[in-house]
Chains A and B, each alone.
Chain A
Amino acid sequence: MVHIKLKSAMLATLIIVFSSCKKMLDVDSSSAVSEVNMWQHMEDAKAALMGVYGLTRAALADNDAFWLYGEVRPGEFISPGRQDLKAIANNELTASYATLENLTNWRRWYAAINAANLFLERIHEVKSKDEHYTENNMNVDIAQVRSLRAFAYFYMARIWGDIPLILASNENEFVNKPREDQNKVLAWAQTELEESAEQLPFEYSTQDEKQQGDYYNETSDKWAGALIRKLSDYAILAHISAYQGNYQEVANYTAYIINNYSSSKMNFSSSSYLGSSTGLFNNRNSNQLLGFSFDWNYQEGSPVGHIEELTLASPLVDKEVPDLYLPKNKIIDIFTEDKDGRFYLDTLGNPGNENYFTNFTSKYPIFSKINCNLGGETADENFSTFTSAIIFTRLEDIVLLRAEALFALGDRSDAESTLNTIRIKRGLNNYSKDINGDLLTSIFTERQRELMGEGHRWYDLIRFNKLRKVNDNISNLIENGGIYWPISKNVLGQNSLLEQNNYWK
């Protein structure tokens, strides 16, 4: 009897075991979405789209790359203590600091590109599976993703020159690719942006014909300054053309932006708005023609990935010495004109305002133009969670770019009047050759003053020297390819088709 009991017990056990086997071993991960569960719903599209934005933001913010590339490399800002920043300013880009290793590695840009490629390959699945996902919504999404991808390639071309052009996720078999001539890459990017611009609205959730209804059921406030708009594309196009020296195109693109900015709810920024902790740079707003925000209200602020990390110090934050500062004499050299809304010294030699600099008289003047801490509302010197956006371009940049283009095209008087629109807004008099000297130099000086700390300076110097050889050092670098960054040894090590930039060999 015992035997029978035993046998049936064993049998029962075995049956239970076998039938539940498969079920027991199929465990759905709770921390990741598997391939089969993705690209099903509109929410997946939204999450993937924001993923491309997030990765682009990460690429710009990582190790403060945006500023280290754009502001530190010219060597105008000085670092009292950070050896890695000193090395960048000295053009010793192969020094083995962790920061430099990261800055020479382009992987994070290709992450954004891959996310974009994947999006473009797979988004149609969502369209076919979720009826709430409209054709119009998809087209706008696709246009943004293509724009971000083109932007990434443009940004990389400025840093490394020739780069592999990869337009598919190739997940079945990853194929290593060699570097592509940057002119080809940029020509492709230009087409992409022009086509995308066609599909993009001036502003989201505002009954724009290109984007109907509330975008992802959110009102326009949600999207203000957050997404790529039609004019963002033209702004990137203007920069690409300027970088290539196609100034006629720059003039065309900038004209379009200047004629239509009000449709994008944009406006020029006052000097105090520039310097305010709740102004242009904080969180996001429509005036950020192309910006990547770190929204305070969604815990996106951080002590790292912001220029404040580099430039601020006591008394603005709890830090004895800033990582970067502009020496007093240099400030005075740049801001020469009286009543400049950004910075000037009054007759007694005291700063006339604090929109750009704090503690000017101390050993280390603090560059505090961008100073958005804790959402900007409550100034707190003791705790750093910065919430400034990374702004690639804004209206003033476009206007000055236009002035530069007009000058290059030989239209000096229009160049002058375009320059004056910015000068007037900053409380300066109209340009005068007798006082301000050479016009082209004035345009670039104006850029330097206006866009200080916004990641433009290095590329401005290159364009300036391409137009006129004013700086032997930079001209030499342009000639021998030294304006580009070396490619990280980690990148070279994993793809044998890649070759180091000649200058850094």
Chain B
Amino acid sequence: MRFISLILSMGLPVILHAKETDTLKNSLIREKNEIRDTVVIPKRITNLPSTSLQQYLKGENVGLYIKENNGEPGTIQSMYIRGITKPVLNPTDNYQLQPLIVLDGIPMAGDHPFSYDIQENNVNKLGPATNLLATIDIDNIESIEILKDPADIAQFGPLGGNGVIKITTKAPLGGKQIGVNFYTGVSFKPQVETINANFENRFRKQFYNQYANDYELDTYPVFLSDSMNNDYYGPSNWSDSYYKNGILEDFNANISTDTKNAKFKFSLGNLINKGIADGTGLKRYSARFLVEMKPLNWLWVSALVNGNRLERDRNRNLRDRFAEMNYLPDLTSPLSPNKGNYNSYLEEFDQSFDKNITNLINGNISLKVNLGKFNFTSRIIADYNEGNRDVFYPKALLIDNSYASNYYGLNQRIFFDNTAIYNFNINSENQVDLKAGTSLDWETYKYNYMKGFRGVNDFIQILTSSGAFPKQLLYKYIDKTVHNMISFYGSGSYQYKSIFNAALFLRADGSSNEQPTSRWLFQPSLKINWNIKENLLKENNLLSTLKIIASLGRIGLLNSSDYYSQGPLYQSEIGYTGNSTIPSYIGISTLTRPYSQGWIGYNLNWAYSDQLDLGLNIGIQNDRLNAAINYYIKNNKNQLIGIPSYMEYGYSQSYMAGMNVQNQGIEFALNWQILYGQKDKLKWNFALNISYNKNTLQQLPNQLNELTIDNRLLKVGQSIDQFWLYKNEGIYQAQNEIPVGKNYSGILFKPGDPIWNDANIDNRIDESDKILTGHIFPKYTGGFSNHLSYKNWDLNTTFYFNIGRDIINAEMANKFDFINQESEPTINNIKEITYWEKRGDYTKYPLYNPWSNVIPYRKDQDLFLENGSFLKLKTIQLGYDLSKIIYKNHKNGHIKKFYIYGTANNIFTISPYSGRDPELVDYTGFDYGYNMAIPSSYTLGIKMGL
């Protein structure tokens, strides 16, 4: 029945009439002990002091990999369903891999990455850069499904090309109910080992003693050269001011009634989540209102409004500040590790502000006409979110130059969907459902951004037209992009008893982001469900469940912007490195081909994903042991990629369609009731999920066999998430160890240089000697949990893990490569206050000559490659259910449910990685060490029902 109801739940409004609601509910909630690999019931998860959907889901599901690479509350986190389907080379690629979030039938409008076009760096997205999925209040959630197989995704079409996370909120059920949930807790500051200039000086002296000439000795950095300088050589106690314990609080209250002809539910929530460093934190205010009515016997109307507000206090990193300003001042001398100095630096922020506010409002109105076998549903859905960031840095923060910027951006979706369903019962054993529908999707993304330098004084903190900021240093950016999509779909499903089910789903979608000659794509999918147990093994007592599910289909993949739909175009693009948005020549605006962005020709047809999913579900002994195993193969075809070409025509690259990437994987989930049985006995439930994924590049456009993009090599037949590195084999100690004429692309090796493997044995080290090695994304992900309960007590422990992933320890590479890093400051080598924290293992690396032109401590070598696998104890929870006791003592009281619990989170990590937490690494696989640690936290909470 699950499958049928799933289909129904897609096509129908969320609110169904009573009988169907029960069916739907049953299908979504874990009955008995059956494995629903796609369903998470957030009972245990709701206790977590998390802020975002990503954090809640981390390690809980097969097929869903979550990158929480920053412990700063409210920052953007990434999700990937069943692997990456294209190389992730920049944030825009990463955005394009994110799954669709459907909240109560509302396909949410996420952030659009187009503002990266005007950014010189990828440190943060412009604007508040707040995780939009931090708006979801977990206490309101009934179920979360991860839709992965092609037939399930097909319901959402190309919007769900990367998979779908379908969230259903709690519906009012039975009479009048009041619920109150509350927790409070603390996240604890980490214990760190601080260092001062003495440490750094001793570290560097080794290199200077061994390799420096007089001139190089003469240019020894000023901040290290005077050991009497108390600013750098004094006590290193900055961490007292930087790290603080953070308060965690969450409150949610709801009231609902459910009568025969009307239901409503109203909930309010407030969350405070303070970070452990630099005054960071997130606040959320949420409100939700749901009403459903049955004014006539055959008519149902429902309306839902969901409003959220997020306020984020961001870090005060130099890097983030200069990235926002796109201005790098002289950074020769880092911040002082001394608490007094650091505090007076922090005081300079007193007059500053950095307001980050995100408002989200979404809702739908559904109308359903029910005429027995024939149903017609019409829904209008709107999702709107806006981000505001207002920044002011006073003069004191940048030697007498103030800075202000104002950002306003919005993402909006209006969705209009009509569906007709006909249920056709041939007899009690055979049933046919037919469905047809259309949907229209209007999306708008836009932003206004203005920044200015050197205001007249610190009192004018907003960019006005009053001239308080000089017009020559006032920069304005506006952009807007629209995407429209039209879909037609139809399906037919056939059900034979509860034994066999087959459903065929056909759809055609037209997208305005596709070129006019190929706007439309037809996509079929088929799902077959065979209950072998019911069919053949009814008498078998051992086997309680045996099902086979097969699903096959094609899903379109959308272009991210209208940019590709236009064919050759003209833009204002006359910038250069570091000043890419210079607007004009002598004040006159320009139009040129988009040379640095790349050539866009014609015949860029739809990209699509062909997928097959095979699943087997086995239950033993009345499902005491239940296991599900899935195999999938996913071929994403005809995808766009920029190929370096036409450089003699000025283009950096040309966008061509024809990249095929295959993902294959096996997913395994197990649920085992080790101890179960009578009341008041100890119960023990063990759950495990593990996913294996492997991606392979199958084809590049133009019959290319390989492609070099920056520091990455994409090679047909290989994975797309591999590092491309020199193999380090030691150090040349003396001249006589160096083969005559051996060089690094023309530069002769000298003693003190590294030995890199000369793969093609030509006495010359260059890119042809690099090897593809390691994986940025894990091969295995998963988690396991134990749930123990005894009488009113329950105890949960949850672990999760990543295996088979690697990290370039770029932070250590930067430390050793100090000569080059300090030679030219970039956004990726700014020394934060955390520079004065001892991290990493200094003994792992040989002492090379840091002045050598072969760049001995380059990051593209396996010297800095490390195994980034880890196992984490995500949470321990202990709860006590007081409901029965209260009920016993106050039989006439109002309290129906009373549950108290405590949690301990992120308790330990086991990893071979020598840097900090291996999770704190983004899609590049490079760990620069800037991201904030994920804290350990402890909470106490109650859940109450009246």
Alpha-carbon distance A82/B823, docked complex (angstroms): 4
In the complex, whether B729 has a CB less than 8 A from a CB of chain A is no
Contact partner of A490 (CB less than 8 A), chosen from B333, B644, B650, is B644
Q: A115-B595, A299-B584 are in contact. List 15 more A-B contacts (CB 8 A).
A: A27-B484, A29-B481, A30-B479, A31-B481, A50-B589, A57-B585, A174-B654, A298-B586, A300-B582, A300-B583, A304-B577, A382-B398, A383-B400, A383-B401, A385-B453
Alpha-carbon distance A222/B571, docked complex (angstroms): 24
Query: B571 contacts A47, CB within 8 Å?
Result: no
Q: Which residues of A contact B376 (CB under 8 A)?
A: 6, 9-10
Contact partner of A24 (CB less than 8 A), chosen from B369, B486, B851, is B486
- Interface of A toward B, CB cutoff 8 Å: 2-3, 6, 9-10, 13-14, 17, 21, 24-27, 29-35, 38, 44, 46-48, 50-55, 57-59, 61-63, 80-84, 86-87, 90, 92, 94-97, 99, 102, 105-108, 110-115, 118, 164, 166, 169-171, 174, 176-177, 222-223, 226, 284, 293-305, 318-321, 374-375, 382-383, 385, 486, 489-491, 493-495, 504
Query: B440 contacts A17, CB within 8 Å?
Result: yes
Query: A295 contacts B587, CB within 8 Å?
Result: yes
In the complex, whether B649 has a CB less than 8 A from a CB of chain A is yes
In the complex, whether B350 has a CB less than 8 A from a CB of chain A is no
Query: A48 contacts B585, CB within 8 Å?
Result: no
Known A-B contacts A96-B855, A114-B593, A176-B648; the reply to A34 vs B566 at CB < 8 A is yes
Q: Which residues of B contact A164 (CB under 8 A)?
A: 648
Q: Which residues of B contact A30 (CB under 8 A)?
A: 479-482
Contact partner of A2 (CB less than 8 A), chosen from B369, B586, B643, is B369
Binds A, one of B38-46, B508-516, B686-694: B508-516
Alpha-carbon distance A3/B369, docked complex (angstroms): 10
Contact partner of B222 (CB less than 8 A), chosen from A38, A170, A320, A375, is A320
Q: Which residues of B contact A13 (CB under 8 A)?
A: 418, 438
In the complex, whether B647 has a CB less than 8 A from a CB of chain A is yes
Contact partner of A382 (CB less than 8 A), chosen from B399, B511, B516, B824, is B399
Alpha-carbon distance A168/B562, docked complex (angstroms): 28
Query: B453 contacts A383, CB within 8 Å?
Result: yes
Alpha-carbon distance A53/B566, docked complex (angstroms): 25
| B: number of interface residues (CB 8 Å) | 102
Query: A50 contacts B590, CB within 8 Å?
Result: yes
6 contacts between A and B (CB under 8 A): A47-B591, A50-B585, A51-B592, A54-B574, A63-B577, A108-B595
Q: Scan residues 571-603 of chain B and give those whose CB is less than 8 A from a CB of chain A.
A: 571-572, 574-579, 582-596, 599
Query: B823 contacts A84, CB within 8 Å?
Result: yes
Q: Which residue of B lies closest to A44 (CB)?
A: B591
Q: Which residue of A lies closest to B644 (CB)?
A: A494
Contact partner of A304 (CB less than 8 A), chosen from B566, B578, B592, is B578
Query: B332 contacts A320, CB within 8 Å?
Result: yes
Q: Which residue of A lies closest to B768 (CB)?
A: A489
Q: Which residue of B lies closest to A54 (CB)?
A: B574
In the complex, whether B858 has a CB less than 8 A from a CB of chain A is yes
Known A-B contacts A111-B595, A164-B648; the reply to A47 vs B590 at CB < 8 A is yes
Alpha-carbon distance A67/B98, docked complex (angstroms): 44
Binds A, one of B47-55, B469-477, B837-845, B898-906: B469-477
Known A-B contacts A44-B591, A54-B582; the reply to A24 vs B484 at CB < 8 A is yes
Q: Which residue of A lies closest to B597 (CB)?
A: A32
In the complex, whether B570 has a CB less than 8 A from a CB of chain A is yes
In the complex, whether B532 has a CB less than 8 A from a CB of chain A is no
Query: B512 contacts A25, CB within 8 Å?
Result: yes
Q: Which residues of B contact A94 (CB under 8 A)?
A: 745-747
Q: Which residue of B lies closest to A48 (CB)?
A: B591
Q: Which residues of B contact A118 (CB under 8 A)?
A: 593
Q: Which residues of B contact A99 (CB under 8 A)?
A: 824
In angstroms, how far is the closest chain B Cβ from the Cβ of A282? 13
Alpha-carbon distance A284/B587, docked complex (angstroms): 12
List 4 tightest A-B contacts by C-beta distance, closest first.
Answer: A54-B574, A111-B650, A298-B587, A304-B578
In the complex, whether B522 has a CB less than 8 A from a CB of chain A is no
Query: B589 contacts A297, CB within 8 Å?
Result: no
Q: Which residues of B contact A82 (CB under 8 A)?
A: 823-824
Binds A, one of B244-252, B323-331, B335-343, B498-506: B323-331
Known A-B contacts A27-B562, A81-B822, A299-B475; the reply to A46 vs B644 at CB < 8 A is no
Query: B510 contacts A25, CB within 8 Å?
Result: yes
Known A-B contacts A25-B484, A50-B585, A169-B649; the reply to A305 vs B576 at CB < 8 A is yes
Alpha-carbon distance A112/B648, docked complex (angstroms): 10
Query: A301 contacts B472, CB within 8 Å?
Result: yes
Contact partner of A293 (CB less than 8 A), chosen from B481, B572, B586, is B586
Alpha-carbon distance A83/B588, docked complex (angstroms): 37
Alpha-carbon distance A46/B371, docked complex (angstroms): 65
In the complex, whether B420 has a CB less than 8 A from a CB of chain A is yes
Query: A115 contacts B708, CB within 8 Å?
Result: no
In the complex, whether B219 has a CB less than 8 A from a CB of chain A is yes
Query: B219 contacts A80, CB within 8 Å?
Result: yes
In angstroms, how far is the closest chain B Cβ from the Cβ of A167? 11
Query: B486 contacts A17, CB within 8 Å?
Result: yes
In angstroms, how far is the closest chain A Cβ from the Cβ of B122? 15
Query: B582 contacts A92, CB within 8 Å?
Result: no
Q: Which residues of A contact B587 (CB under 8 A)?
A: 295, 297-298, 300
Contact partner of A295 (CB less than 8 A), chosen from B565, B586, B594, B744, is B586
